[in-house]
């Protein structure tokens, strides 16, 4: 048994000494200057693409695909984020039902208000019932039927307008 242990120890020591001589005899490559290293590390083809897409919530798809050097970088980032449209709405940030465009049917006190609008900024922030519906254009049918006290006040205002800035601030502050 002593012969085996001694042989193993001799081989191990011999391998260590041989590896030291092998490392010492190899020439190490010259190191590039910091400027060349920085440029070499930053060059890339097809980097920073397809990041931050298809998220639901807030603060998604930001600061992706920036600061690349080369070709085909920074493409297809930050797309398709935000809450999905529901209730037959099509576009961006619509509430209510059947709205097409952006920022329609938001902040209404009744589900009968802010529906079936086409454009941008229509049928928003209405009180009462059946306000801000069926508008086409921009900023129509907003702020109707607000500040009312009692039953049956501030309803059926700001509906069916076409154009811009029509049917706003009607039927409010009744007692």
pLDDT digits over 80-116, tens only?
Answer: 666 666 788 888 888 899 999 899 999 999 999 999 9
Indicate whether 63 belongs to any domain.
no
Indicate whether 133 belongs to any domain.
yes
Indicate whether 112 belongs to any domain.
yes
The Cβ-side half-sphere exposure at 130, using a 13 Å CA radius, reads 5
Indicate whether 130 belongs to any domain.
yes
Distances (CA, A) of 71 to 40, 45, 49, 52, 161: 14, 5, 11, 20, 50
- Quote the CA–CA distance of 139 and 166 in Å, as a whole number: 7
Indicate whether 44 belongs to any domain.
no
For residue 156, give its domain range.
Answer: 87-175
Indicate whether 59 belongs to any domain.
no
- Quote the CA–CA distance of 162 and 175 in Å, as a whole number: 30
Mean pLDDT of the chain: 75
- Quote the CA–CA distance of 129 and 149 in Å, as a whole number: 13
Digit-coded pLDDT (tens) for 10-39: 545 555 565 555 555 555 455 656 555 554
In the chain, the number of structural domains is 1
Indicate whether 137 belongs to any domain.
yes
With a threshold of 0.75, does the pTM exceed it? no
- Quote the CA–CA distance of 169 and 123 in Å, as a whole number: 11
Mean pLDDT along residues 26-55: 59
Strand blocks (E) in the chain: 43-45, 69-71, 90-92, 100-102, 118-120, 136-138, 162-164
Indicate whether 150 belongs to any domain.
yes
């Amino acid at each position: 048994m002593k012969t085996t242990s001694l042989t193993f120890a001799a081989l191990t020591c011999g391998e260590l000494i041989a590896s030291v001589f092998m490392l010492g005899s190899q020439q190490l490559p010259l190191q590039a200057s910091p400027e060349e290293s920085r440029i070499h590390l930053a060059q890339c083809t097809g980097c920073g693409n397809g990041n931050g897409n298809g998220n639901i919530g807030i603060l998604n798809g930001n600061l992706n695909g920036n600061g690349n050097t080369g070709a085909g970088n920074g493409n297809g980032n930050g797309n398709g984020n935000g809450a999905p449209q529901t209730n037959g709405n099509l576009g961006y940030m619509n509430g209510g039902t059947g709205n097409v465009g952006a920022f329609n049917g938001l902040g209404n006190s009744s589900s009968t208000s802010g529906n079936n609008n086409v454009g941008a900024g229509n049928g928003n922030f209405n009180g009462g019932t059946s306000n801000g519906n069926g508008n086409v254009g921009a900023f129509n049918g907003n702020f109707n039927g607000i500040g009312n006290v009692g039953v049956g006040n501030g309803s059926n205002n700001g509906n069916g307008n076409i154009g811009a800035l029509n049917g706003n601030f009607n039927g409010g502050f009744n007692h």
